[in-house]
Amino acid sequence: MNKESIRTRIEEIGIVPAIRLPSAEDALFAVEAVADSGIPIAEVTMTTPGAIEVISKLARDRPDLIVGAGTIIDIETAGRCLDAGAKFLTSPGFDIQVVEFAVKNDVVVLPGAMTPSEIMAAWKAGADFVKVFPCSLLGGAGYIKALKSPFPKIPLIASGGVTQGNVADFILAGASGVGIGRDLINPEAVQRREIDWIRELAGRFLKTVRRARGQRAM
């Protein structure tokens, strides 16, 4: 998959699962459970032990998945993740060096941003999407709606505090997609290897996002 197809696929699905778990084994289980549930995208965060090895294994064994690296805060780590096979990079905040590194290497990048100034800077630097984080603490769906007025053409990913109860609100407010952590990758479900539990959650999120997009298009 090239950069354009990866960017298009992320926008089509509209959900970026954040894999932040206490072990590499848990992370592998979670990624495959979510992927087999209809969300072939995963952001493996660098806070997960053995994260780069997880990315490498998934890139080798599951080339059908769009596996990215999350919580990237420097270009050294970004380079190691790309070498391991990461297809996109995300960060909790805006670091122009990381964005420029991604652009130079022709890889999709989703930098985090909080303020309108950060969103403008990230977009001008070459971001494919701008991840508004931590969204729930900034005003939730209302903040996304406010941002879409001055930035109608910037694809925003709402991240931080997205749940089953509010995911539709973020989409209706204009978010191109959402980043979801423990509300999709339930830690207890992972610990107990309850794949059906995760499949149920994934199905609910997918259905809700699709329904909200349909309502927004009306």
The active-site residue, picked from 118, 124, 131, 194, is 131
* Token pair belonging to 118: 């950060």
**Alpha-carbon span 134 to 112, nearest angstrom:** 9
Q: What is the DSSP string of 76-119?
A: HHHHHHHHHT-SEEE-SS--HHHHHHHHHTT-EEE-EE-SHHHH
pTM of the model: 0.96
The active-site residue, picked from 4, 25, 43, 188, is 43
**Alpha-carbon span 21 to 51, nearest angstrom:** 10
Does the annotation mark 100 as catalytic? no
**Alpha-carbon span 185 to 211, nearest angstrom:** 21
pLDDT at 212 over 90: yes
Q: What is the pLDDT of residues 71-126, one digit of tens each?
A: 999 999 999 999 999 999 999 999 999 999 999 999 999 999 999 999 999 999 99
Q: What is the pLDDT of residues 30-87, one digit of tens each?
A: 999 999 999 999 999 999 999 999 999 999 999 999 999 999 999 999 999 999 999 9
**Alpha-carbon span 43 to 71, nearest angstrom:** 9
Find out whether the peptide bond into 111 is cis, omega within 30 degrees of 0: no
Percent of the chain with pLDDT over 70: 100
pLDDT at 217 over 90: no
Classify burial at 43, counting beta carbons within 10 Å of its beta carbon; exposed 0-12, middle 13-18, buried 19 or more.
buried
**Domain positions in the chain:** 3-213
Residue 144 has what pLDDT?
98
Which class would CATH give 3-213? alpha beta
CA-closest candidate to residue 11, choices 21, 19, 22, 3: 3
Q: Which helix (H) or strand (E) holds 66?
A: strand 66-70
Does the annotation mark 87 as catalytic? no
